[in-house]
Structure 1
């Protein structure tokens, strides 16, 4: 009996399962819990060295390098804050992402527009992680929320408030090699507000960029020649004409609720299995009869077969943990960043914790472990690290909770159950006038049932609407500022 059969026999076979969604299996003695933890102020994304024993953590005001080779005793070996503080417009701020290309670390920012602050890519030599050395800084005309590094290239999200391209740079020289935008692929997207089609994240494998574009879905683009990109296919791209025609309130609603909301993407080692993380929330809508409906809710990770990129096929969906308050101001349990390795999927769910799944059969994911501590931890990512003892190690960064600092955790790479798992929050009060409507699906309104927003709803206002995935208080106004700032800088140059 192989490992997967054993998991099914000992766990999943005892539970009710639904084809196409994940279910749970437990096959390891003892509780599932972190191996180690270390505080990191401002922790956001984390990436691992090729051997997995060193973690590089974006830390908002800088970056931190952590030795996790002894997983129960992680230790900081280098910390750099106030980067570019010697510049008149320094320091570099809002650092939410770092990426690694062999011994080169890219540190990008700011994640969201900060007029008057430097924007660009700091290139760092980390061949000696105890003594990182700045190689150079390439200034950009746009903020950089996320990036990717591979084969000497930097792939940058360039939300300029206009075409929102993916920009490709040569890491050694800083020269722009090319760019691609969904507007260049289909000019109808130009009529859609730029925040609704924000280029949120990118994953590159074998020179194919998998680009998460929020309500414009995920696009697969061949960038082997960055100056002449070609579209290979798309996943759930949405209809630009329909989105463009939405009244502003319904467009705001669409920005927070499914469908769309493509936030993060990654492939497995083969490049044929694509994970799409969908970040969404619930929105309370007051209707004409003074009742309220909860529309939308947290979303999960979809698994897609992209062996034929022109015809992607959805294989399954891993659902998010249930939130006691799924609104934007409540308890976030929606999907965030994740990683594939050797038939395993490592996922983060903000205050919903981290999970480990067996996805060796991606049509039938099996949940192996789930750990959460919603008071102290809100997880940003989960990444496979390295084999250890009889199993392995994965690492997960947390940007903190109500009572906790940011941190980096290490976990065992095995199945198990958390002992006495804490609740994710108080259950919402029962209200006879409150109904759940499409709590995990699409918001659809007929002419007679179009909702009117209440004064207390969590729907964003026009200043915080169209770029929901970029954090609290960031949206259309921020992207307008980015567009103005870009034009201003071009004029000043």
Structure 2
């Protein structure tokens, strides 16, 4: 996309008029909805294979499955690709690197990782680039790994990765800290180091799915083993600060084969993505889950739980942001479960696959309020949403991991709610856990905002398209015209969950642990 008269982001937003000053109480815009018709994307650029997006200044970096891309977003109406390297490490054994689902940026360094789900016929590595000129990235380091690299992080020059399944079904799934430029491992840690009982839990229930590092603290999303806060100020000597969510290892270890399969897909658990706000006083844990059967209420999909961690040794559950509803909540259905998100100031930018994107006011994290939301279930499924400049622009990466005809993959730019705007469209906050004062561990269940169908808790109703009738709660955003899919390939996010917990893998695990593979 090229503009005949390029304009800066500020110039573009000044010309948006009503779109830039939309009331916070507008409904959701979608392909099927007439509500909030003047709100929607500013611009987009197609980049096949897109998954993750991260931002540095006016440049967005995308993971593109076969490589990565840098995108200039200084003019959000006309984002443009600066570079799109592919076939990374093609000169190495088993090259090139495939299934590149994640990138991370820090200053002038970009970390690119793969493969995300299988090491077959692909070199496994972390590749570091100098992106001081984002139009001409230069490779400065390669660190080959013994296992997949589904997600990674980069902080203070240290790369963090989950060493999942490196030792097969016996793997402890540690977080590993690496100096990629020096080619040196600095340290590693696993929940098994804290409590050997975690070693008795099926490997797939305690994978390190994602991580976030800020100010010497690593926040580690360990699926059904919960989220761990780890002091990594000295990577060679990490130590546990707190353990939030999750179930006791003895309880998880007692599950039968079919129970493990269900547990891996549905709530509770499935800690998938984690991040903190600017001063690390609020922790967000996003869960990725589904119902196991279309005609059963297994409480999927899942949302984002917010915790007060102003004292990181304790964790108080504040509220749960519930996902957009779907009439096909199974793994093979229409995905509206939480995916990646981003805190910036008092804003939380969220993505929900086919459920679109939403921006929340979290100035009071116990009552998050919607500022902006948009979806188009027929054409767009979102992997991540990230602020470019709060109050002006955010971007979201649209993915098409199922290869659906007509679906868009690439970067989409959106206008943000103006700075200072607050929302009264809040979910009824229902804390989903209680804190054990002796351990600081939060464990519990709950249903978050209690939104069902077209009615949100507190008596607020919608017209079936997401249009708000009352401004006191979050309205449901199901258009009622969602198309279903029968894709059950098991590909895509979550390490290929459907395949990972089925068949010989789980059976072999139970033999190793001396357990019967039965109900």
TM-score normalized by the length of structure 2: 0.75
Q: CA contact under 8 A between 1:42 and 1:59: conserved in structure 2?
A: yes
What does 1:389-428 align with in structure 2 at a 5 Å threshold? 391-400=391-400, 402-414=405-417, 423=479, 425-426=481-482
Candidates 295, 298, 322, aligned match of 2:298: 295
Equivalence for 1:217: 226
Ranges in structure 2 where 5+ consecutive residues have no aligned partner: 1-22, 28-34, 426-464, 468-476, 509-519
Question: How far is the alpha carbon of 1:142 from its aligned partner?
Answer: 1.1
Question: Shift of the alpha carbon at 1:407?
Answer: 1.3
1:281-307 deviation per Cα after TM superposition (whole angstroms, max 9, x unaligned): 01118xxxxxx5332310101110112
Whether the aligned pair in 2 keeps the contact of 1:107 and 1:123 (CA below 8 Å) is yes
Contact 1:331 1:424 in 2 (8 A): no
C-alpha distance after superposition, 1:406-459 (max 9, x if no partner): 11000011179999988364489xxxxxxxxxxxxxxxxxxxxxxxxxxx9x8x
Residue 257 of structure 1 contacts residue 283 of structure 1 at CA under 8 Å; is this kept in 2? Answer: yes
Q: CA deviation at 1:171?
A: 3.1
Consecutive unaligned residues of structure 1, counting only runs of 5 or more, are 1-9, 16-27, 286-291, 429-455, 484-493
Shift of 1:375: 1.3
1:30-78 CA deviation, whole Å, 9 max, x = no partner? 72200111111000000001x2x10000000000110000000000010
Residue 332 of structure 1 corresponds to 335
1:36 aligned residue: 43
Could you say which residue in structure 2 is the equivalent of 1:62?
67
Of 153, 175, 179, the match for 1:170: 179
Q: Could you say if the C-alpha distance between residues 72 and 384 of structure 1 is closer, same or farther in structure 2, counting changes exceeding 3 Å? A: same
Q: Is 2:495 aligned against 1:470?
A: yes
Confirm or deny: 8 A CA contact 1:218 1:235 kept in the other structure: yes
Displacement, 1:355?
Answer: 0.3
Matches within 5 A, 1:90-101: 90-101=95-106
Counterparts of 1:361 and 1:200 in 2: how far apart (Å)? 28
2:267 maps to which residue?
258
Q: How many residues align?
A: 418
Please give the per-residue CA displacement for 1:143-185, whole angstroms capped at 9, x wherever unaligned: 1100110111001121024000100001320200000111111
Contact 2:377 2:482 in 1 (8 A): no
Alignment of 1:112 with 2:168, yes or no, is no
Helix, strand or coil: the match of 1:295?
coil
Structure 1 residue 145 and structure 2 residue 154: aligned?
no
Q: Is the 8 A contact 2:24 2:372 kept in 1?
A: no
Aligned to 1:195: 204
Instruction: Report the counterpart of residue 457 of structure 2 in structure 1.
Output: none
Shift of the 149–474 alpha-carbon distance from structure 1 to 2, 3 Å rule, reads: farther
Deviation at 1:479, TM superposition (A): 11
Residue in 1 that maps onto 2:139: 134
SS at match of 1:64: strand
Deviation (angstroms), 1:342? 1.2
1:348-390 CA-to-partner distances (Å, cap 9, x unmatched) read 0000000011000001110111101111111000000025xxx
277, 286, 290: which one aligns with 1:268? 277
| Richer in strand (by share) | 1
Match of 1:239 among 230, 243, 248: 248
Q: 1:251 to 1:129 in 2, by over 3 A?
A: same
Cα distance, 1:62–1:411 mapped onto 2, change above 3 Å: same
Aligned-partner Cα distance in 2 for 1:422–1:297:
15
Relative to structure 1, is the Cα distance of residues 366 and 256 closer, same or farther in structure 2, using a 3 angstrom cutoff? Answer: same
Cα distance between partner residues in 2 of 1:357 and 1:204: 22
Secondary structure in 2 matching 1:296:
coil
2:274 is paired with a residue of what secondary structure?
strand
Alignment correspondent of 1:19: none
> What TM-score, normalized to structure 1?
0.79
- Whole-angstrom CA distance in 2 between matches of 1:479 and 1:395: 41
Asked if residue 368 in structure 1 is aligned to residue 393 in structure 2, the reply is no
Does residue 157 in structure 1 map to residue 162 in structure 2? Answer: yes
Q: Closer, same or farther in 2 for the Cα pair 1:299/1:106, shift >3 Å? A: same
